[in-house]
Amino acid sequence: MKEVIPKLSRVAVFGNSTNPGNALALQAIELAAAALKVKTQTLDVLTSTDIETAFLTAGKARSEAILVLGSPVINIQRAQLVKLSVRHRLPAIYYTAEIVEAGGLMSYGVNRSELARRDATFVDKILKGADPAQLPVEQPTKFEFIINLKAAKLIDLAIPPNVLARADKVIR
């Protein structure tokens, strides 16, 4: 996002405080933001009604972009997120490609198809008698960066060519 908006100084982070993974992600986000001299504002999205409130709060704080962390509420309400991002003219980067395919601007996250394939491998081993406790824990190895140029156009945002060149997929 910093490369798309070089003067970026404030980012609202939408997350769910009850999701343990979000707490870890927020620590990493704070470190990265500090290194880039970007201030973050974490906004808790626990229910669908919190989404509108989060956008209003981000606007009052003069946030210039949004980073959206994963949660069931956010996943279910992806159409609302996309709609409000356009209405408030706030570029957003999401944790999953599904939101970008639903009209969101950008996503960077694990390739869910690859995860499903790895899951199938573990299920196969277990069905063949492997002890689940003896199977190794694996980290995702394939990540994908997706940009939706239709969404960029809706908020009059130009995506630099060097950023487009790094995208795994560009929706036109």
Which position has the token pair 């630099």? Answer: 160
Per-residue pLDDT of the chain (172 residues; tens, 9 = 90+): 999 999 999 999 999 999 888 989 999 999 999 999 999 999 999 999 999 999 999 999 999 999 999 999 999 999 999 999 999 999 999 999 999 999 999 999 998 888 888 888 999 999 999 999 999 988 888 899 999 999 999 999 999 999 999 999 999 9
CATH superfamily of 10-171: Response regulator (3.40.50.2300)
Q: Judge contact between 107 and 97, C-beta under 8 A.
A: yes
Query: What residues does each domain of the chain span?
Result: 10-171
